[in-house]
Amino acid sequence: MNICVIGTGYVGLVTGSCLADVGHRVICIDNDEGKIRTLNAGQMPIYEPYLEDLVRENRTDGNLSFSTDLARGAKDSEVVFICVGTPPLENGEADLSFVEKVTREVSTTADFPKLVVEKSTVPVQTGEHISRTLKIYSGGKKSRFDVASNPEFLREGSAVLDFFHPERIVIGVDNPRAEDVLREIYRPILEGRFRCPVHSPCSSATRPLFLVTDLKSAELIKHASNSYLAMKISFINAIAEVCERVGADVEKVAEGMGLDPRIGKEFLKAGLGFGGFCFPKDLQAFVRIAEKCGYDFALLREVEKINKARIETAVEKLKKNLWVLRDKTIAFLGLAFKPQTDDIRFAPAMELIRRLRLEGCHIRAFDPRAMKKASAEIPEIFCGRDAYEAAEGAEALVLATEWPEFLDLDWTRMRGVMARPFILDGRNFLPQPLVTSLGFEYVGMGR
């Protein structure tokens, strides 16, 4: 199928490259000329495992191309995926101006029937607005466009894997034509007929479920899922607070809870809280959506509050152990909001660094991927060539992102370079018995 993907951020770039890889002819559009130039020069604007290879191979095969020309891309395609950003406005609502703008541009390209698919995370009822906009700007010939919702559930750092091995593919449609087209697009995934770029040979035999709903339910599934996952994290972080007050270990509590299949062990990792460009903004947006339709979703406001308080809990732990924070040197292991990504948007590490700088601390850091982006945001961070250089002369080491390579560090060497061997393990990740046996003071989160 000829597919046009509008927006080459994390979602659009992964979606476009993966759709090309399963045999479609995909053109990815972005109005950021620099980004399109980068992609056409064979370079990547973001780091995402396996993505670079996918882009290179499919460009070479002629299945994938990049352009700033939306009108041409949309005109030649039977299906248009909208994957543009929906950043938060001041009041927490999603800014839909990019969605509206590209919808209007697509509306002028209707010389044969097209399916417009919303993939960006949008408030419920956005599909109706898209439909109406297409109708108005295409001169009233509504039948030329179908609109569907197809929320993405890709996690940064494992987005390619998630695309090829989703548990479910959700589509929201208001007519069978749209369902048929989307089923056709995803057929290779649904039938397991693809070359898995992550595992070769691919070990997963489970086929995803294809869930078809009405448009509004599909839109809600996305916000409801992300809010629920965020709630799980805040729940375990609240339990962590109780654990600390009574001397229990949140890791053990989470293990015991997770063994109940009704609860499940995923998303019960206590620590510095959730970050990234999805949970924080989607939560806020969902609270606003509920408010607008007359429901006070107080539960989700509390989820947000607990998450923000994690940063303060970390500051208090540092204060308690270092006594005075002014002029202390603090080293960070990890800046990205999670491992396997260079994304620092709403990263707990960055929030904590900002907070500590207000206290007068000097910050050194090492992250395998995110230092460039972090330095661009806070130039005062000294970035080391490795974890040891970052830790030189530090009075405390904060583990903020659980990059697997941090498990292989030489802790004797680390102890040698630090001014004071104190660790705040913001993800309960480091080998506590080992580091304490080497003379480190170790403080975790909720244990």
Using CB under 6 A, list all residues that contact ligand UDX. Answer: 152-156, 226, 229, 233, 267-269, 271, 273-276, 278-279, 337-338
Residue 88 is given by DSSP the state B
Q: Which residue, 328 or 447, is less far from ligand UDX as judged by CB?
A: 447
* HSE-CB of 119 using CA atoms within 13 angstroms: 27
The residues, ordered by sequence, that sit 6+ positions from 26 with a Cβ below 8 Å of its Cβ are 3, 4, 5, 16, 17, 19, 20, 58, 63, 64, 65
Q: Which residue, 27 or 254, is less far from ligand UDX as judged by CB?
A: 254
**Residue that is written with structure tokens 């209707």 in the block:** 110
305-329 per-residue burial string, b: 16 or more CB within 10 A, e: under 16? ebbebbbebbbebbeeebeebeebb
Q: Which residue, 105 or 219, is less far from ligand UDX as judged by CB?
A: 219
Radius of gyration of the CA atoms of the chain, in A: 23
Whole-angstrom distance, CA of residue 350 vs CA of residue 344:
7
**Residue that is written with structure tokens 């809990």 in the block:** 313
Whole-angstrom distance, CA of residue 192 vs CA of residue 85:
30
Active-site annotation holds for 278:
yes
In whole angstroms, the minimum distance from the beta carbon of 40 to ligand UDX comes to 26
Would you report the helix, strand and coil content of the chain in percent, each value rounded to 5? 45, 15, 40
Whole-angstrom distance, CA of residue 218 vs CA of residue 249:
38
First-to-last C-alpha distance (Å) of the chain: 53
83-109 per-residue burial string, b: 16 or more CB within 10 A, e: under 16? bbbbebeeebbbebebbeebbebbbeb
Catalytic residue among 18, 83, 278, 383: 278
Closest CA to 421 of 408, 431, 412: 412
In whole angstroms, the minimum distance from the beta carbon of 226 to ligand UDX comes to 6
Q: Which residue, 151 or 421, is less far from ligand UDX as judged by CB?
A: 151
In whole angstroms, the minimum distance from the beta carbon of 278 to ligand UDX comes to 3
In whole angstroms, the minimum distance from the beta carbon of 67 to ligand UDX comes to 26
Q: Which residue, 56 or 265, is less far from ligand UDX as judged by CB?
A: 265
Q: Which residue, 36 or 51, is less far from ligand UDX as judged by CB?
A: 51
Q: Which amino acid is at 441?
A: E
Q: Which residue, 73 or 273, is less far from ligand UDX as judged by CB?
A: 273
Six token digits for residue 393: 């002369």
CB 280 within 8 A of CB 274: yes
Q: Which residues are catalytic?
A: 278
